[in-house]
Amino acid sequence: MICSLLALFSLFSPAMAAARERTFLMLKPDAVQRGLVGKIIQRFEEKGFKLVAMKYMWASEELLKQHYADLATYPFFPSLIKYMNSGPVVPMVWEGQNVVKTGRVMLGTTNPVDSAPGTIRGDYCIQTGRNIIHGSDAVESAQKEIALWFKPEELVAWQSAANSWVYED
In the annotated binding site for ATP, the residues are 28, 76, 104, 110, 121, 131
Residues 81 and 34 sit within 8 Å (Cβ to Cβ):
no
The Cα 60–Cα 139 span in angstroms is 25
Return binding residues.
28, 76, 104, 110, 121, 131
Backbone φ and ψ for 51, nearest 5 degrees, come out as -80, 125
* Amino acid code (one letter) for 36: L
- Active-site residue numbers? 134
